[in-house]
Amino acid sequence: MRILKTYLRSTSIQCYLCLLLHCHFLTEAGIHVFILGSISAGLPKTEAKWEFVIKDLEKIDKIIQSIHIDTTLYTESDAHPGCKVTAMNCFLLELRVVLLEFSHANLLNETIHNIIIQANSNLSSNANITETGCKECEELEEKNIKEFFQSFLHIVQIFHNS
């Protein structure tokens, strides 16, 4: 399982100190810039890593070709851009259904766990977004698992490209 790492910004405190000493920022404003810059150097990056989800979805496409999975899942096949977070949450809920129904498929489950972890991590920056007028998961059309993953890949690519 891929280990999620928190990356720190490469900005170093020494750069801010050098800037402070070589420039004439020895004022109250310069000290504030230095302090805020120093704090921001330690903050974690919130850079989305959707390419990992895309790779795992491509891996799943190969896995489901080799095993027989006869199930239908609620699938958002034409999500409005204003409903992409809602659509992604529906896909993630349906992935949990796949985990429950196909617990014997270890490689599939491991890859799905990776997708859920990565997608939730990437969605954390959209946690406070409220989308209105979007379909509830149960209102979506049920499609076979291959179509489900193709539509899921499409939604992930929307997030990746934005």
Is residue 144 classed as helix, strand or coil in its secondary structure?
A: strand
User: Which pLDDT value is given to residue 5?
Assistant: 35
> Where in the chain are the domains?
7-42, 50-161
* Rounded distance between C-alpha atoms, residue 161 and residue 54, angstroms: 12
pLDDT at 6 over 60: no
Give pLDDT tens digits for 123-149: 887 767 788 899 999 999 999 999 999
> Domain 50-161 carries which CATH code?
1.20.1250.70
pLDDT at 51 over 50: yes
CA angle at residue 87 from 124 to 89, to 5 degrees?
45
